A = this chain, B = another copy of it.
Amino acid sequence: MQIAAPYLMFLGDVPDALAAKTAHGIVDWRPEWCLGQLRLPGCKADLGIPDLTIPEAAERGAKTMVVGVVNAGGVLPEHWIPVIVAAIEAGLDVATGLHVRLKDTPAIREAAERHGRQLFDVRHTDQRFATGKGIKRPGLRLLTVGTDCSVGKKYTVLALEREMRKRGFDADFRATGQTGVFISGRGVAIDAVVADFISGAVEWLSPAAAPTHWDLIEGQGSLFHPSFAGVSLGLLHGAQPDAFVVCHEPTRTRMRGVEHPLPTIKEVIDLTIRCGRLTNPAIQPVGIAVNTQALGEDEARGYLDKLAREHGLPATDPVRFGVGSIVDRLAAQFPHSAPSTGND
C-alpha cells in the first residue's frame, strides 16, 4: 500500500491521549506531513497541530484523512461514519489502523467507489505476496530485534534513519507495523499477513537496491516471545539483515502478555545470528538500544557502559543519548556505504 501525504489527522472523540498513540507517533516523525487535526466534540486528545475542517484540509492539499486512533470495542462509532464520508466526498483517501475495516461499512465503501478514492485498512491486508525465496538481494539491510515486544524497535529504526540521513547515508525506514506504515506512507502490517507469506511480504517490502543503500527495517515481537516468535523469524528471514540492533527494556521482568521471563541480550544475539545466517551468512550485531526511562541518568550511563563492554557493541538509549554511536559502528563496519564527506 502507498498512502498519499499530506495527512489530515482524524481523532474522533477519543477519551484520552493514549487512544491517539498512533497519531502522536505520526506527528512526531512526520510533522511535515500532518497539516492539521480534526476533532469531534468531547475529544480529549490533542496533537498540538492546527484544527482544520475537512474543506480547509482539502484546500491546503491534504491527500489522506488518517484515522490514527484506537476505537473502543472494535466497532466503528456510528457518528464517525458521516465524517469519513465527507472526507471522501471532499476528495481525500481514508486510512485507518482500526480493527474494523472501512470497506465493511456500506456507506463508506459506496462513497469511495462513487468518488474513486482509496480506503486503506492498515491493520488488514488483502495484498497478495509471493512466498519468500530467500535469495540474497543487493543493498544493505538493518533490522531491529528485541528481547520482547514494545521495547523500542520502531523508535530505534526511525532514529537511525534520521541520524543516517543527517550524515548523508542513503537510508530508508521500512515499516512492518501500522504506525510505521503511516509514518512511511508505505509498508505492511506484517502480523496481519497470512502465515505462509511472512518472509515473502518482507522481501516485497525491502526489494533489491543499490549496493550502498540501507533499508532500515522495523522489527516485530521477539524470537523468544511464545505468542509472536513465528512472525519474528519470518521477518528475520525475509529481511536478511546485514546488521541488527537488539532493543531492550531492563526493568521488565515478564514478556508482554505472557508469563515468560525475558531472554538475555546474549541469547537474542546468538539466536538471531544462528537463524539469520540462513538468508544472510554475514549477519552481525551492530548495537544495543535500551529504553532507560526507569533509570536515573548516572544509573543509565553505568548500565549502558556495562552492556557495551560485555557485548563489544555500542549501547545507547536512543531517546536520551541518540543513536550516533550505532551509526559510527555502521560506518566502520560498512565503509562503502558511508558518505565520503560524512562526519559525526
Which positions in A face B, CB cutoff 8 Å?
A: 131-135, 190-196, 198-200, 223-224, 226-235, 237, 257-260, 271, 274-275, 278-279
Known: A191-B195, A191-B196. A278 touches B131 (CB 8 A): no
In whole Å, how far is A99's beta carbon from the nearest beta carbon of chain B?
Answer: 11
Contact check, B195 vs A134: say whether CB atoms are below 8 A apart.
Answer: no
CA distance A234 to B259 in the complex (A): 17
In the assembled complex, which residues on chain B have CB atoms less than 8 Å from the CB atom of A228? Answer: 131-132, 196, 199
A-B contact pairs, 19 of them (CB 8 A): A132-B226, A133-B257, A135-B258, A190-B195, A191-B194, A191-B195, A193-B194, A194-B195, A195-B195, A196-B228, A196-B231, A198-B230, A199-B228, A200-B227, A229-B237, A229-B275, A230-B230, A231-B234, A271-B275
Contact check, B278 vs A195: say whether CB atoms are below 8 A apart.
Answer: no
CA distance A131 to B220 in the complex (A): 15
Contact check, B131 vs A195: say whether CB atoms are below 8 A apart.
Answer: no
Kindly name the residue among A132, A200, A224, A257 whose own CB sees the greatest number of chain B CB atoms within 10 A. Answer: A132
CA distance A231 to B132 in the complex (A): 12
Contact check, B233 vs A230: say whether CB atoms are below 8 A apart.
Answer: yes
Chain B's closest residue to A132 (CB) is B227
CA distance A196 to B190 in the complex (A): 9
Contact check, B233 vs A237: say whether CB atoms are below 8 A apart.
Answer: no
